[in-house]
Amino acid sequence: MMAGGARSGVAYLPLHDGRAPAWLFARMQELARQMAILIVGEFGAADLVRKLADPFWFQCFGCVLGFDWHSSGVTTTALGALKEGIRGLETDLGFFVAGGKGGVSRQTPHEIAAVGDRLAVAPGALQRASRAAAKVDSAAVQDGYQLYHHCFVFTREGTWAVIQQGMNVETRYARRYHWLSEAVVDFVCEPHLAVCCDATGPGLNMVAAESGGAREAVEALAREHPDRLMGELRQIARLELPAHHHVVLSEASLARLQRIFVQVYEEQPQDFRALLSLDGVGPATIRALALLAELAYGQPASFRDPARFSFAHGGKDGHPFPINRAGYDRSIEVMRSAILRARLGNRERLDAIRRLARFGTP
C-alpha cells in the first residue's frame, strides 16, 4: 500500500529467465529518452524523480516501455533503458541515473562523484543517502530478499529517489523498495515510500516505528565492551529458544561477530544509522544485537513485514500479447514529434498527451 493510503494493490514479480532482445531494448531506450525529455521539459526534473519513486507510476512506465508487466525484470530493464536513453543529456536535463544491477550497483557512489561538478549540492550527501538506503534494506530489514539491484536517480538540486530490488531464491519472487528524499524524515524509522511484493511474512524489521526501543538498546549495546557482548551471546547460544522466535544465531559465526564487535567498539557509533554505516556491519551483526536487545534487555524488535502496497505495447515474452514493433516505433515518433512541435509553438499534440496522462487519475 502506498504511504498515505491513497491507492493499494499487490504486484506479483516472478523471476523470469532471459533478457530483453536487442531490437526491443533499443526501442525501450529511445522511448524512455523521449519520455524523460517530455516530463522534464513540462514538469521539471524533480517531478520525474517523484514519478519513478511512485511504485504505481513505475510499473506503468515499465509496461509502456513494453517489458513484462509482471516480471521482476521490469525494474532492472526499465531503469537500464532510462539510464542509457538519457546518456549525454544528463546535464541539459538536470537529471541523473546511477547504479544498476549486480556489480554496477556498487559503482553508484563513483557515478555520483563523477557528475559532482554539475550539481548544485555536495555529492557526498547523495552518496551517503545511496549507501544508507542500501544498508537499511540489506541489514536492517531482513525479510528473505537479497538485494541485487540498486538504482539512484537524482536532480541537479539534490532531489533523489532509490529504486532497489531483492530476490528470494527459494520462492523465485522479487521485492522492490522505493525511497524518495522528500518523504524520508528518518533513515532508520519508516523510511520507505513503498515496498512492493507478492507476499508478506515475518522478518526482522529494525526500521519499523515499533522497533524504536530495540534500536536504542542496540545503539547502547554497540558501545559496550566486546567481551561483555560475547559473554551474553555465548549464554544465549545455549538457550532453547521458543519455536516462534525469528532471530537465531545458528547461521552466525561467533568468531566473526567478535571481530566486528571490536571494530564497532573502537568506532563508538552514536546512533543506529551510524552503526549501520560501518563497514562489516551486516545482517548477522544486526541479528545478534537485536537478539541481545530483546533477551537481555527486554526490548523486542518488530517482525512486521514492511511490504505495502495497462499494457501499451505488449510484453517481451508475448504476454499479454506480442510486441507490435511498428506500433512501438510510431509511439516513439509521436513523442519525438510532440516535443519538436511544442518547441516550435505547436502544442496541440503535446496537450493531447497531457490529457491522456490525466485520464483516470483519482
Of 157, 147, 163, residue with least CA distance to 125: 157
DSSP state of 205: E
Residue indicated by cell numbers 531483492: 166
pLDDT at res. 83:
97
Distance from C-alpha of 353 to C-alpha of 359, rounded to nearest angstrom: 10
What is the distance between the alpha carbons of residues 310 and 344, in angstroms, rounded to a whole number? 32
Share of the chain above pLDDT 70, in %: 72
Q: What residue type is assigned to position 200 of the chain?
A: T
Number of Cβ atoms within 10 Å of the Cβ of 5: 8
| Grid cell digits, residue 112 | 555520483
* Grid cell digits, residue 282: 551486516
Instruction: Cite the beta strand spans of the chain per DSSP E.
Output: 95-101, 141-142, 146-155, 160-168, 173-180, 194-196, 204-205
Element (H, E) at 287: helix 283-295
Question: Is the confidence at residue 349, as pLDDT, over 80?
Answer: no
Query: Residue holding cell 531506450?
Result: 29
**What whole-number distance in Å separates Cα of residue 282 and Cα of residue 259?**
13
Among the residue ranges 3-17, 74-88, 271-285, 286-300, the one predicted with the least confidence is 3-17
Q: What is the DSSP string of 10-27?
A: ----B---S---HHHHHH
pLDDT in tens, 161-216: 999 999 888 877 788 999 999 999 999 999 999 998 766 777 899 999 999 999 99
Which amino acid, residue 150?
H
Alpha helices per DSSP H over 55-211:
55-65, 73-85, 90-93, 108-114, 123-135
Residue 359 has pLDDT above 50, yes or no: no
- Least confident span in 25-29, 172-176, 257-261: 172-176
The per-residue pLDDT for range 87-108, each reduced to its tens digit, is 999 999 999 999 999 999 999 9
The half-sphere exposure of 82 on its side-chain side, counting CA atoms within 13 A, is: 31
What is the distance, to the nearest Å, from the Cα of residue 279 to the centroid of all Cα atoms in its chain? 20
pLDDT tens per residue across span 133-146: 999 999 999 999 99
Lowest-confidence pick of 1-5, 184-188, 289-293: 1-5
Helix axes 22-43, 325-343, angle to 10 degrees: 30
pLDDT for 61 equals: 83
Q: Give the pLDDT confidence of 8-26 residue by residue, as tens digits.
A: 444 444 544 556 678 888 9
Mean pLDDT to the nearest integer, 341-346: 58
Lowest mean pLDDT across 1-10, 38-47, 214-223, 261-270:
1-10
pLDDT band at 315 (very low <50, low <70, confident <90, very high): very low
Mean pLDDT of 146-173: 93
Q: Which of 181, 187, 178 is nearest to 1 (CA)?
A: 178
Reported pTM: 0.79
Cβ partners under 8 Å of residue 221, min gap 6: 229, 289, 292, 293, 297
**Amino acid identity at 67:** F
Whether 264 shows a pLDDT value over 90: the answer reads yes
- Mean pLDDT, residues 219-224: 94
75-79, 286-290, 314-318, 329-333: least confidently modelled range: 314-318
Asked if residues 223 and 302 have their Cβ atoms less than 8 Å apart, the reply is no
